[in-house]
Amino acid sequence: MCRITFGTENCSTNFQKVGGVCEECPPGYFGLECKQSCPPPTFGKLCGDTCYCAHNECNPTYGCSKEEKDTKGCAVGSLKENNQKCCSNHYKVNHTCQACPPGYFDLDCSSQCPPSRYGFMCAYLCNCSNSYCNHVTGCLLTRDLEDVNVEDNVIENDELA
């Protein structure tokens, strides 16, 4: 999929020329001539996947690194020692490590889901514009609340009797 620009043959965005032929960017890269690498927490083909680990452990091509130095000896569930750390995507509550609440991920659940993602482990994709995508609940109600007449929704005390 190439296009001609000013008399020279250039590849479209998210394609690069390999052996005279335009090919899609390899996993971990995107943009003109595939020169940009995926920013954390994204990775993979056209940055379409999301890492659920610390941003510095997110490889743009493969995702979360297989050698997670910070997670050796980490805990999920009950802590064996007071100084033990929770694994990625968990946080400490009293003496246990619990999974991050919906809308959060990373070490100690310190990161919100990236734009267009929401829910537990950012597993869900919003089907609305990013400005209406809440990292916890997904697409927000877009109806203008000024249209609602509050008086119509008020029940008089006499009506309840």
Give pLDDT tens digits for 58-76.
888 878 764 343 445 677 7
Task: Note whether residue 154 is domain-resident.
Answer: no
pTM beyond 0.85: no
Query: Number of folded domains in the chain?
Result: 1
Q: Which two tokens stand for residue 147?
A: 């249209």
Task: Note whether residue 117 is domain-resident.
Answer: yes
Question: Which has the closest alpha carbon to 97: 73, 117, 114, 119?
Answer: 73
Domain that holds residue 88: 68-145
Task: Note whether residue 119 is domain-resident.
Answer: yes
Task: Note whether residue 127 is domain-resident.
Answer: yes
C-alpha 92/C-alpha 143 separation (Å) is 38
Task: Note whether residue 101 is domain-resident.
Answer: yes
Q: Alpha helices, DSSP H only, in 19-155?
A: none
Three-state DSSP class for residue 18 = strand
Task: Note whether residue 14 is domain-resident.
Answer: no
Residue 139 reports pLDDT greater than 90: yes
Task: Note whether residue 10 is domain-resident.
Answer: no
Task: Note whether residue 26 is domain-resident.
Answer: no
